[in-house]
Amino acid sequence: MRDLPPLPVRDILPRVGEVLKEAPSVVLSAPPGAGKTTLVPLFLLDQPWLNGGKVILLEPRRLAARAAAGRMAELLEEKVGETVGYRMRLDNRISARTRIEVVTEGVFSRMILDDPELSGVSAVLFDEFHERSLDADFGLALALDVQSALRDDLKIVVMSATLDVGRVARLLGDAPVIESQGRSFPIDIRYEERNAGESAENAVARAIVDAHRSEAGSILAFLPGQGEITRTAERLAGRFDEKTAVVPLYGNLSQKEQDAAIRPAPAGTRKIVLATSIAETSITIDGVRIVVDSGLQRLPVFEASTGITRLETVRVSRASADQRAGRAGRTEPGIAIRLWHPGQTAALVAFTPPQILASDLSGLLLDLAHWGVADPSSLAFIDPPPETTLREARSLLVELGALDANGALTPRGRRIRDLALPVRLAAMAVSAAEEGEAQEACLLAVMLTEQGLGGSSLDLEERLRRFRADRGDRADAARGLARRMAADLKAQMSNGQSALPGPLLMHAFPDRIALQRGGRGRFVMANGRGAEVPETERLAAAGMLVIADLTGRAGAQRVLAAAEITRADVEAHMPEAIRREEQIFFDRASHQVRARRVTRLGAIIFEETPLSRPSGEAAARALADGVRQLGLAVLPFSKETAQLRDRIGFLHRSIGEPWPDVSDEALLSRLDDWFVPFQHDAGSIDGIRAHDLAEGLLSLVPYDLQRDLGKLAPTHFEAPTGHRHSIHYDGDEPLLSIRVQELFGLKEHPTIGNGRLPLLLELISPGHRPIQTTRDLPGFWAGSWRDVRADMRGRYPKHPWPEDPANAMPTTRAKPRGT
């Protein structure tokens, strides 16, 4: 304790030690700048219950992991790799002496999956847990599982500056919560609302120039992404003298460039750091006392229906805004400039949405299968993974051969999981290894998972060439990782040729093999969705592609990374994917059912031959597909058939089951029950007969109830005149529209449903205009009839308007001449 710097968290460290002596877990809430990231692990080293074991500190980003390890080593007056080291995907600095390992969250998940007992580890610290990455949530769930089943001596500490401590404490078995005091230095929060229509980069550049002119110290500005950072830097070019440096900070930069961005500015100079959310937590940029916050961040959103993860620019959460502002008060009093109206802060969501709710879960599901867990709900996730996304992930894993039909891990699935790669790319490497191309596949996979390697070209052949030629440290480390992965696959000997990326990628993205259709740059993928390549790109002219990355919503997807292939490549490497079959389908253009013989790859049609027009059940099912596409409005319901549907619908609403639901949604979902059996001879929308639709609707009603339909919901009402009038069931209640003279002499209100439900009467004049609506005809005769009669006699003097209509003769005619 004597050697630790006097940061706020130091005051509660003894309490942390006392609690962990007895409790298995603790939640630590400490504001930005309190020192929790560096002081807590160092303090725990001297705790007797550690028993010489290691402390594992999880950080959400590599930059934060390196910075934390470096700061702790500095406090111990050592080099990184001695008592304190770090471990991450392309870099590690650990030795036999290392007792504190700072690891990225994904590395920890693999550590615990490969060694469930966490041998030699006494404590696991989850730092900045409020970021709620998928790896952090999964790692905590695994650690809690290990703690409860194998290692009751394992200590778990969850830390954050902004955290929903109640939920996390409950997840940890009502763990004690310890809170540190506030930040080290005060922060003046100012608001400068961005003008309507003003871009984020223009607003940030303006705020930086103003703050640089009026305030001392270095500036940290938060922008949503690399593009905005580049454009902001362009706007700031030439605005400052040589004593001010403008430097970027984002994930695609090399380690040296990132470290340079957080290094203190030389004496007598200032620094302006343009950063993404990478600078939000766990790092201190010495000299920064001004923060400019655009209020925006870029988050990945996975769409299970397309299998695509797209980036969305959204407003930050209140927790993130507080974290960003906290960067200004790390070393001295600071200023945080927020580029939005102060009233908007309260409208921000409290926390950034957890990744587990909007991520591809195929890797998680594969790891769970390796762990021996079939049902994710058996683990302690703070937010359970969505069932829809899990279902899509299972489907993909079965398609890739990683899981069997029962959800169990296959031998191929074990090889896929053993690779530290996303599931699709791991499947590609495993398939390539069987063909002697493991080295090329692993090189391609590592390039795709490390942002910026090989540049940003859409053409993966070009990017791979640049990656091979890159002699930088990061590229060397990536190539070394690819070599180790290929060796781990125990692959066949290389065939001596450099495989092109396209044929390799087919094994990763079989659903994204694409054929040019509709002109240059326009493609249809095997999954049936369209994708576009800018016409200026070389690949826009390709006949076929395999697409590794794309963005945008369904129907407007833009290719970000792809490689060229040919049909011969598909036939050589994936012959089982090409199907030859006869199809019966609905042609939307002609509204007809057609048949053809096709050679296809998913939704891609290579060749087709027309066949004679089909009939029977298969044709009826194709016609039903057409109805699903076009909607029920396309069906030729006659007036009588529409009324039948309305009558059944009324009985469903008023009585319920077993009277069937005949709403649009319900009928579309049950076309196989009521439509298909009665349309074997139709062949087209025009060939559908209203009578067959009526038969189909009636078939939904249980047979023993069909005879009650006429009693409970009759089609007509017979007036005292003997005339029959249709009853309308398409509103909220059954309606009878009838001329009032036809009801003369009727002393009881008309009813349906065996006399239980009064009809809503719309009484109309001889001119067929509404006079009155009523559910009580006798009351109408005795009450407001007098006023109606007075008005109607003036308008329609040729028609009878008796003083006592309840005892008058009903009629459909005017009064005889002369009366």
Whichever domain contains 207, its CATH number is 3.40.50.300
191's CB contacts (< 8 A; 6+ apart) are 337, 338, 340, 341, 342
338-355 average pLDDT score: 90
Q: How far apart are CA 115 and CA 6, in angstroms?
A: 37
DSSP state letters, 579-600: EEEEEEEEETTTTEEEEEEEEE
Note the pLDDT of residue 98.
Answer: 95
Cβ contact 21:171 at 8 Å: no
Note the pLDDT of residue 491.
Answer: 57
Tokens of residue 247, six digits = 């430097």
682's CB contacts (< 8 A; 6+ apart) are 593, 619, 620, 623, 688, 689, 692
743's CB contacts (< 8 A; 6+ apart) are 719, 720, 761, 763, 777, 805, 810
What domain count does the chain have? 5
Block residue for tokens 């039903």: 624
Judge if 687 and 665 occupy the same domain.
yes
For residue range 711-724, list pLDDT tens digits in order: 899 999 999 999 99
Nearest to 158 by CA among 146, 145, 171: 171
Give the best-scoring range by mean pLDDT among 296-300, 461-465, 813-817: 461-465
Residue 553: inside a domain, yes or no?
no
Q: Is the pLDDT of residue 817 over 70?
A: no
Judge if 679 and 744 occupy the same domain.
no
| Cis before 658 (ω within 30) | yes
Residue 54: inside a domain, yes or no?
yes
Judge if 166 and 192 occupy the same domain.
no
Q: Is the pLDDT of residue 2 over 70?
A: no
Other C-beta atoms closer than 10 Å to the C-beta of 166 total 11
Tokens of residue 430, six digits = 């495993």
Judge if 403 and 439 occupy the same domain.
yes
Name the pairing type of β-strands 270-275 and 244-249: parallel
Q: Is the pLDDT of residue 305 over 70?
A: no
Of 179, 196, 215, the residue at which a domain comes to its end is 179
Name the pairing type of β-strands 513-516 and 544-551: antiparallel
Q: What's the burial of 164, exposed, middle or buried (CB within 10 Å: 0-12/13-18/19+)?
A: middle
Of 123, 144, 179, the residue at which a domain comes to its end is 179
Judge if 407 and 331 occupy the same domain.
no
Enclosing H/E stretch for 546: strand 544-551
Q: How far apart are CA 806 and CA 786, in angstroms?
A: 12
Note the pLDDT of residue 255.
Answer: 75
Note the pLDDT of residue 816.
Answer: 63
Cβ contact 341:373 at 8 Å: no
Tokens of residue 47, six digits = 């705790």
CATH of the domain at 451: 1.20.120.1080
Q: Is the pLDDT of residue 155 over 90?
A: yes
Residue 650: inside a domain, yes or no?
yes
Strand partners, 644: none
Q: Determine what percent of the chain is predicted with pLDDT higher than 70.
A: 96
Q: How far apart are CA 600 and CA 589, in angstroms?
A: 21
Judge if 165 and 22 occupy the same domain.
yes
Note the pLDDT of residue 814.
Answer: 74
For residue range 404-449, list pLDDT tens digits in order: 988 889 999 999 998 889 999 999 999 999 888 889 999 999 999 8
Of 179, 199, 225, the residue at which a domain comes to its end is 179
Note the pLDDT of residue 458.
Answer: 94
Tokens of residue 102, six digits = 């700072």
Residue 573: inside a domain, yes or no?
no
Q: Identity (one letter) of the amino acid at 94?
A: I
Note the pLDDT of residue 329.
Answer: 80
Helix axes 639-654, 703-712, angle to 10 degrees: 100
Q: How far apart are CA 250 and CA 274, in angstroms?
A: 8
Enclosing H/E stretch for 84: strand 84-88
H helices present in 283-410, as ranges: 318-326, 362-371, 387-399
Residue 550: inside a domain, yes or no?
no
Q: Is the pLDDT of residue 490 over 80?
A: no
Q: Is the pLDDT of residue 497 over 80?
A: no
Nearest to 315 by CA among 272, 275, 351: 351
Nearest to 696 by CA among 636, 656, 655: 636
Residue 178's SS3 state is strand
Judge if 20 and 152 occupy the same domain.
yes
Note the pLDDT of residue 286.
Answer: 76
In this structure, the dihedral spanned by the alpha carbons of residues 795, 801, 806 and 810, taken in order and rounded to 10 degrees, is: -100
Name the pairing type of β-strands 751-752 and 760-764: unpaired
Note the pLDDT of residue 72.
Answer: 94
Residue 558: inside a domain, yes or no?
no
Judge if 720 and 708 occupy the same domain.
no
Residue 163: inside a domain, yes or no?
yes
Judge if 735 and 677 occupy the same domain.
no
Q: How far apart are CA 536 and CA 190, in angstroms?
A: 45
**For residue 346, what are the domain limits?**
187-353
For residue range 626-651, list pLDDT tens digits in order: 999 999 999 999 999 999 999 999 99
Note the pLDDT of residue 588.
Answer: 92
Residue 48: inside a domain, yes or no?
yes
Judge if 615 and 649 occupy the same domain.
yes
Strand partners, 293: 222, 338
Average pLDDT, the chain: 90
For residue range 740-772, list pLDDT tens digits in order: 999 999 999 999 887 888 999 999 998 889 999
Judge if 35 and 163 occupy the same domain.
yes
Note the pLDDT of residue 264.
Answer: 84
Note the pLDDT of residue 358.
Answer: 86
Judge if 697 and 777 occupy the same domain.
no
Residue 86's SS3 state is strand
Q: How far apart are CA 738 and CA 45, in angstroms?
A: 91
Q: Is the pLDDT of residue 306 over 80?
A: no
Note the pLDDT of residue 350.
Answer: 84
DSSP at 266: P
507-511 average pLDDT score: 91
Q: How far apart are CA 664 and CA 645, in angstroms?
A: 11
For residue range 158-207, list pLDDT tens digits in order: 998 766 788 899 999 999 999 987 666 888 999 999 988 899 999 999 99
Strand partners, 308: 303
Cβ contact 243:223 at 8 Å: no
